Structure 1
Amino acid sequence: MKKLMKDLGHEYADILFYTPSEFEKLGGLWPLRTGHNVAKANYSVGPRVIECYSFHFVLSGAVTLSTMGETVTLTKDSMFCLFPDVKHSYWVSQYDADEPLRLRWLAFTGPQAELLVSRIGLTERRPYMRNKLTAELSGLLQGCMQRMDNSQNEGDLQLQSMLYRLFELLSRPLPHAAEDKDWLRACLRHMETHYAEGITVADVAQFAGMNRSHLSSRFKDSVGMSPRDYLIKLRMERAGEMLRSRTLSVTEISHSLGYTDLYTFSRAFGTFYGMSPSKYRARLFLPNEMLNE
């Protein structure tokens, strides 16, 4: 399928609208529209809401997404989901004429849509994944567009099977070859850089483009502890260092390490060190002869 893209002012785009048949609506999932574009320097969409789900895949360049009070920049091979009735905006990041932002999208709905989106780990608060656009997935997206363009809208079973295949591919972890080489080093570096910012295991899994349970299992096999325990270890070791300074209160230290309240921090500290932060600090400054008594 070769079409000339239309000049829509802020982008060149090829957009295809699809009307599902009554037969397709008896199923759990059906497409509504698809397309791909090449963004211009002034490319910007929103703020707006849409009535369905829409997957957007970054073919090249970078896009900045803003939704639910969060803003994130996504680069090549990343994807994001627009949720129905959730306000969002997205725009081109650092326009480069040699490598402009190019997107491919697929909008869909149906009674199973919400469950399927949730099963692959996307939420309204975290609607994106990195490093997910494989060659197989890219080919499937192009195939979906071709089927939608050529379908007679009488219940295209192949198109329906392709939609479910899309979710199956998105649920896969990264290929093992890439994982074995890079995933652990990248995760450790990410955790050691951002542990004080309140990141969770789910955040690390999203960063790595891996299923959370798969990440936890492989991380524990490689490191000897779960990613949750490793994050706690990083925070507690830093807490011990910070308690050696008398310039910060225990509350200030807890906030500096990403804890939202003192109780949660103190409980984690007590589990790790076997004493409260205050007692730990007091022992640091006791005379040696008192510690030996």
Structure 2
Amino acid sequence: MNDTSVSAPEAKVGSQRNLSTARLVRMLPSPMLQLHGQQAVDLALPDNVVCFCRSSATDLNRPQQGRALHHRHVLIMAFETAVTVCVDDRTVRLHPGEGLLVLPFQFHDYMQPQQEKLTWLFVTFEMADNRALEALRFRPFEISPVIERLAAELVNCYLAPNDPNLSILTLALLLARIEQATPIQRRQSTPSTPESLITQVNQLAQRKGEMPSVKEMARLLGISSSHLRARFRASCRVSLGKHLRRLRMEKACGLLRLSSCRVSEIAEQCGFNSIFSFSRAFRTTYGISPMAYRHGGTLHRDK
């Protein structure tokens, strides 16, 4: 005979949980017709989700030493040890129990760790519309109990990938909760210019159609080309030309994976004169052809 008895403490916990759920259920209406309800509004799902942990401060800026920049979103959640996150031309000090979302094409690196040992969760992903999470730009948030439970559920789904959709849907719910969270109000370093020059350049570079030239960008920003180049280097610690070349290639990565455009169309949108020059530049940068990457190949960013 199987013993199906439940201990008194377990029964008490279960009873409390059921009571709480029952109380919530009783708050629901009791309609006679159940045909009209809540509908999805502008629902955007993340894709190509990667979860990983960093447990030492030394590893934060690896595998690429220096400022990272790519076409993916980076969700950061700090559980142990404070570190300063440099995003574009701002700095955000993340303490344990806090998080931050780095958007595509934002420079980011890490400095001033409180200690070498840390526990930070990173979730990188892609969105068909990079503007979907724009409200979270430069907006650190508190890891509330609800957000922490969803993060734990996301990690559980990721570690046991019987159904990849569970990770996608759990991350979507986590991001929705983060959007609803109250931003942390704390003094932050201000940009070097009234409006972030990096943000302005990136917005111009990501417009639909061909990427504008430096001369065209300068005209749209109301300054000379030489002034734009000098201000950008002083603010971002990298030349504008190198930054735009990286943006072109990262924009191509996103379009190859998330759009149905032909490779020739992507080459044109990213400012290349021909598919041959685009393919050559892509292979030189990433060690793989555009078509191979579109079909699931892995980039080699140290190329």
In which range does the TM-score fall when normalised by the shorter chain? 0.3 to 0.5
**Which structure shows the bigger proportion of residues in strand conformation?**
1
Instruction: Give TM-score, length-normalised by structure 2.
Output: 0.41
Structure 1 length as normaliser, TM-score? Answer: 0.42
